């Protein structure tokens, strides 16, 4: 796999709950991370004193973050609504030449900023709120 264009990593939200996803407007930077907690089952009998982990155990999670320019588009309004209503709608993350991750996320942080002689910007953080699916591209 060769180098990828960063603008191709997209975060999309299901605007109405009908499975029609739309890219969140104004994003300039995006990030997705996947995490899995470990369950340590090391004991005195562990070979050579090496740590042992319980396979398939532990909590899995994903987080998404993005920042961009405030455009007051439908997706900006939807992100605000999701945050204030505490909803966990479906999101899609398109990772170029890798795949599409889809599932419920909660908007855990929403920040707005602006300077006197600059554009209004926002930052958005989301945490997975259930099982995620992955489809390879």
Show the domains of the chain with their CATH numbers.
6-136 (2.30.110.20)
Give the pLDDT confidence score for residue 89 in this predicted structure: 95
- State the pLDDT at residue 5: 76
Positive or negative, the CA dihedral 35, 41, 44, 48 is: negative
Give me the tens of pLDDT residue by residue for the chain, a chain 137 residues long. Answer: 677 777 788 999 998 889 889 999 889 999 999 999 999 999 999 999 999 999 999 999 999 999 999 777 788 888 899 999 999 999 999 998 899 999 999 999 999 999 999 988 999 999 999 999 999 98
Q: Is this prediction's pTM over 0.95? A: no
pLDDT for position 71: 78
Residue 99 contacts residue 37 (beta carbons within 8 Å): no
- DSSP string spanning 97-122? TTEEEEEEEEEEEEEEE--TTS--EE
* Total residues found in the chain within this entry: 137
d(C-alpha 117, C-alpha 15), whole Å:
32
């Amino acid at each position: 796999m060769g180098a990828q264009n960063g603008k191709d990593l997209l975060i999309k939200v299901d605007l109405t709950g009908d499975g029609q996803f739309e890219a969140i407007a104004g994003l300039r930077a995006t990030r997705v991370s996947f995490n899995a907690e470990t369950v340590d089952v090391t004991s005195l009998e562990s070979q050579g004193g090496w740590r042992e982990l319980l396979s398939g155990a532990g909590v899995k999670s994903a987080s998404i973050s993005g920042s961009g320019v405030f455009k007051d588009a439908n997706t900006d309004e939807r992100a605000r609504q999701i945050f204030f209503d505490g909803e966990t709608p479906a999101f899609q993350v398109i990772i170029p030449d890798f795949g599409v991750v889809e599932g419920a996320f909660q908007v855990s942080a929403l920040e707005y900023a602006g300077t006197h002689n600059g554009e209004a910007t926002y930052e958005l953080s989301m945490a997975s709120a259930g099982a995620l699916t992955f489809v390879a591209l």
